[in-house]
Structure formats: structure tokens, C-alpha cells
Chains A and B, each alone.
Chain A
Amino acid sequence: MSNEYMGYFAIFFSAIFTQNVLLTYYLGMCPFLGASREVKTAAGLGTAVTLVMTCTTVLNYIVYKYLIVPYDLEYLRFIVFIIVIAAFVQVAEIVIERLSEKLYNALGIFLPLITVNCAILGVSLFMVIREYTLGLSFFYGLGSGLGWMLAILAMAGIRQKMTKSRVPGPLAGTGIALIIAGIMAIAFMGFSGVIKG
């Protein structure tokens, strides 16, 4: 495999495992804690995040490279990225509602909520800081989305099992969820060194 392909591969897998946007940067915590009670809703939200993250990272790359950089407007990237994400979510909602009612119902109310998910904005900003190319941005967005989905699915699986266990009163709910998230993050650290990304 040539070096170029290795680069894509490394970015993709490190985004999922070693540099997981949720478990190493703790971005997108709010929906992670709020919508991880059931595997089904977690899967819906995870799919929506993956879709939006992949597409908006690519879109933001294009906007950044061809509009923001030429006019020296780097300081405006936060607001511009958010506008692009919001518009994309709107368009995606209209299109999905038309094309697949099943997917639309599965994503449900999550799609519009993703507009304000900080993991999405975070990934676009990392893409700028790390100076990825268009191809790398695509794989980085896709990997980060899948990584986020993996984390919330694992969390939902654990929490579903947890309903049967006796949690000390003061820790019930969000408290124990944060502890689980911490332990999961430590577990994900085990991947570090596997890929040099």
C-alpha cells in the first residue's frame, strides 16, 4: 500500500479509536448522556451524527479553502461553520423526509438537534487546525462520526444492562453514566500506539 492510502487509513482508524472525538476530547457529551438510555435511540442518533459529520466536514473544507482563506477571514470560521452545519441539517432533513420515511422516523427529532452538537463543529475545527486535505477531511469526518456512534452504542448497551444493577442512590442516572464514560475512555486509551496517526 502506498503512503497516501496509509494516510487515509491511519486518519480513519485513529479517528474511531485512538483519537475518538467523544472519549478523548469529550465533545458531544450532552446527547451522549441524554440519548444513551436505549440502544435503539443511540443507533438513530449515531447514524445521524455520522452522516452530518462526514458531509459537513467536507463542505466546511470547501468553504474554508475557497472562501475563507482567500479573503483572510479565518477569524470568522466559527460562525461560518455553524451556518453551514445548520443549513446542511435543514437540507438533509427535507431530503431524507422525501426519500426514506423509515430513516426519517428512525432519526426522528435527533436530526435538527445535531445542529448544535459541539462534536460536529469540533471536527470541522480540528480539520482546519491539523491542515487536512479534502480526502483526509472526508475520512476524518467519517471516522469521527463512526467513533462517536461506537461510543454511544457501547454506552447505551452498558446502561441497558445497568438497569438491572443496584447503583448507589447519589450516583444514579448521570453520575454513574459519567463514571462509565471515564472507564470507557481509559479502555479506549488501550488503542493508543496501535496506529501512528
Chain B
Amino acid sequence: MQEILTALIVCCAISTGLAILILIVDATIGNYGECEIDVNDGAKKLKVEGGQSLLSTLKSEGIFIPSACGGKGSCGLCKLKVTAGGGEILPTERGWLTDDEQNNGIRLSCQLKVKNDLKLQIPEEYFLVKEFKTEVISIKDMTHDIKEVTLKLLEPSNIDFRAGQFMQIMVPEYELSKEEVYRAYSLSSPPSQHDSVEFEIRLVPNGICTTFVHKYLKEGDKLTVNGPYGDFFLRDTEREIVFIAGGSGMAPIKSILFDMKEKQNKRRARYFFGAVSKRDLFHVDTMRQLEKELDDFTFIPGLSGALPEDDWDGETGLITEILARHMSSGDNTEAYLCGSPGMINACVEVLKAKGVPEELIYFDKFA
């Protein structure tokens, strides 16, 4: 008996002693004291406690940098330009940064630890990014696998964004995920709607957030979101517009179209929407209504696998084929695409072949 006790006590004593040693070293040598972060050449100066990652330090200062993995270095979204004090690029960042980015001081803010004074460039739109506490006020089935979720903003109660931007939804711990994760979804509500936001969310088998929204989320639940992010918005030109979307890619386009209606934008616009069969189509009536309300707008839904019972007399074939049939020349055209990477890449090829310059093709890929 005494032998076991001695063993236990000695083991515990050693472990405790070492743990205390680590704590002391961390608190003394690992203490970096107060550091100053200079944002955008002196536009903002933050006094922060060193020792944490840049991403979480900025978050505690109310500046949200897009990040889907929550700082594990596995999504590569939280890139920032660090002009001074960042030190060398870490091995954990290399895989995410192109040679150009490495030479230009771009860093992953979740990997960079704040150890001294830093100078950074943060895009202006990130300052508009806030964290919102919200309440789910409605969940509607749009198709067999897409739900439209409406959230009422509680704190803060107002949002400003540009049509086409996205937000991140925080999924709390639940069966499929042992930790909080963030997933990005495009806003489908128009920017004029300030007190609530809407998302179209398609069920992805075993997707952490989509399963949560489809199987667990109920009306009345509280949900935390942050945003807005992204540069997928309508450019202010006179060119003709081609929108192309599939599935929940409907969301940002719908927001942009409503925004065009409210701003009485008279540009010619065509919207190609790809689906498999009729049960994958949604918001068709909304789009038909917009055709009447907008000056020069045509909605062209296409089915790639129409069923006999669909009784479909519209366009058929892959979205790329329908696009190729309808577009004559790509001069004076700009294109906005939203959907799966496969669909986007295929459509970009068609657009380029039709003569749309690559720099006028904007897209939002669901990775």
C-alpha cells in the first residue's frame, strides 16, 4: 500500500513541479508585455497584450479577419499584409502563401504571434465587420435540400453591407463537431434590409454547418454571425451583366438583383440558373416578378436532367451549353458567377471563348 502511495506522490510531485515550472517560464520569459499595433499607416494604433496570435488579438480589439477554421491554420483565409515587425514567415504559413504574397509581406494572422510592435495593412471593409448576436425568426424549405434561414439582428441591431457579400455563421459544439467552427454563407437579403439577414443553405452530406442548420436549428434559437466580408459585388459600369448560379449560389445574385431594383439600375442583365430537375428550382416566381420590375432583366433557368413529370418546356442541358447558346458576343459584358468550383471553372471557359475578358469575370466559389 505504502509503495503505491509513494509512487503516486512522487509522480504527482514531479508533474506538478514541472507544470509550475512551465507556468513560471511562460509568465516571465513568455511574457511579451504591451505591444503597439499600427494599422494602415497610423490610422489606428492599438495597445495590446503580446503573446497571442494576431488573429485573436485583433478579434479582442473588435477587428474581425475572415477565418473559417478558427485559427488552426487549415483554411488560409486570414491573410493580412504585415509591413514591419512580423519576422520570418513560419513553415506553417508557407503552404498557404504564393511566392508573390510571401515577397509582399502577406502573412496568416492566425499563425503570427504578437511579440513586438507591428505595422499592418487591414482592408477598410474589415472595419465594418462586426459580430452579431441574432435570433432565428424563420426557416423555410426552398427545395428538398435548400433552406432559407432568416435571422433577426439583436446586438448590434443594424447591418450595412454591399449586395453579394457573405457572412460567417458560428456553429456551436454539437454531435458532429467538438468545437466552435465558422462557415461562410452569402447574404440573400438586400442591403436595404438592415435589421435582419437571410441565407440560402444547401444540405451537404456530413457538412458541419449545413447539417446543423438543417437538422438541429429551430426557430427562436440564438445564433452568432460575423461579417460582412467579400468583394463579390456589382461593379459600377455600363456593361451588360451575365449572372450565372447553381443551387444556393442563388443567394448573392438575388441580393444584387433586389439592390438593382431599388437603385433603379437600368443595365441589361441576364441570369442563367442551373439545376438538375424541377425540384431543384426555387425563387422562380420572385425572379419572374423581377423581370417585370427591372428595366431589362431576363431569368433563364435550365434543367440538366428534367424528369418526365416535370413537364418542362424551358431550357435543357448543362448550364455551359445553355450559356453558349444564348450568348453571341462577350464584348461589353461582365459576368458574376456563384456556385461550385466545377461549374464556375467550366462557365469561365465558355465566357472567355465568347470574348469576355478574364478580369471582368467575378466569382464566388463554394469550396
Chain A residues engaging chain B, CB cutoff 8 angstroms? 63, 67-68, 71-73, 76, 79-80, 83-84, 87, 90-91, 94-95, 97-98, 101-102, 105, 108-109
B11 contacts A94, C-beta separation under 8 Å: no
Q: In the complex, how many angstroms separate the beta carbon of A91 from the nearest chain B beta carbon?
A: 5
A83 touches which one: B15, B30, B92, B113 (CB < 8 A)? Answer: B15
Residues of B with C-beta under 8 A to A97? 30, 113, 115
Distance of A67 Cα from B11 Cα, bound (Å)? 10
A101 to B88, CA, bound (A): 8
Residues from chain B with Cβ under 8 Å of A67 in the complex: 10, 14
Contacts of A90 in B (CB 8 A): 22
Smallest CB gap from B113: residue in A = A97
Can you list the 3 inter-chain pairs with the closest CB atoms, starting with the nearest? A87-B18, A94-B30, A108-B91
Across the interface, which residues of B come within 8 angstroms of A98, CB to CB?
29-30, 32
Minimum distance in angstroms from B28 CB to a CB of chain A:
9
B7 in contact with A91 (CB, 8 Å): no
Asked whether any CB of chain A lies closer than 8 Å to the CB of B25, the reply is yes
A109–B91 contact, CB under 8 A? yes
Q: Residues of B within 8 Å of A, CB-based: how many?
A: 23
Chain A residues near B353: list those with CB within 8 A.
none
The residues of A that contact B26 with a CB separation of less than 8 Å are 94
A73 contacts B7, C-beta separation under 8 Å = yes
Determine if B156 is an interface residue (Cβ-Cβ < 8 Å): no
B87 contacts A105, C-beta separation under 8 Å: yes
- Measured between beta carbons, the chain A residues less than 8 angstroms from B15 are 83
Shortest Cβ gap from A96 to chain B (Å): 10
Q: Say how far A69's CB is from chain B's closest CB, in angstroms.
A: 11
* CB-defined A-B contacts under 8 Å, sample of 7: A67-B10, A79-B11, A91-B22, A94-B22, A94-B30, A97-B115, A108-B91
Across the interface, which residues of A come within 8 angstroms of B3, CB to CB? 72
Q: Are A71 and B6 in contact, CB atoms less than 8 angstroms apart?
A: yes
A67 to chain B, nearest CB (A): 6
New contact pairs (5) apart from A76-B10, A94-B29, A105-B90, CB-CB < 8 Å: A71-B6, A71-B7, A94-B26, A105-B91, A109-B91
